Amino acid sequence: MMQFDQVIRGAAATPAELAAVRAALAERLGLPEPFVLPPGLAELLSSGVQACIRETEDDHVEFGWLGADSAAYYDDYQFAAYMPGAVPIALDGGGGFYVLDVRGGRNDGDHPVVWSHAGSLGWDVDDHRPVAPDFASLLANPHVV
């Protein structure tokens, strides 16, 4: 996992809260079973990690994990209309989202991660940027976005 300069902790997500998130996301995506979160994301949320920040001379990388609020952000920012098949998992602290690309139809917790700005959500080449082939790689890469 990427080494972070700052980790902000709060209340740990309970198994019931994670189950509710998984069910809410499945409903929005039209899945017959609960949405499978990437194991690393579920682990972070279960341990109370709310945000991670890494500073370098040239970069400020921030992940504000949405956790239980993922479904609310999905609705509020109209992901179904503007970026169908995207599941918001984190804010970047500058108006952008890290999202899981679930368009492949798999529900195994192993999805590519892309970045898109809240003001231009979409799958057009100018509207999103691939950042990692999966969640574990997102955390391991010190130069995302």
Each as own residue / partner, the long-range contacts of residues 115-122 (CB below 8 Å, 24 or more positions apart, any chain) are 115/144, 115/145, 116/83, 116/86, 118/77, 119/95, 121/77, 121/78, 121/79, 121/82, 121/83, 121/86, 121/97, 122/82, 122/83
| Domain chopping of the chain, boundaries | 6-140
- 6-140 has which fold? SMI1/KNR4-like (3.40.1580)
For residue range 10-47, list pLDDT tens digits in order.
Answer: 999 999 999 999 999 999 999 999 999 999 999 999 99
For residue range 43-70, list pLDDT tens digits in order.
Answer: 999 999 888 888 777 777 888 999 999 9
Does the predicted model carry a pTM greater than 0.85?
yes
Residue 101 vs residues 13, 15, 69, 86: alpha-carbon distances, Å: 23, 24, 18, 5
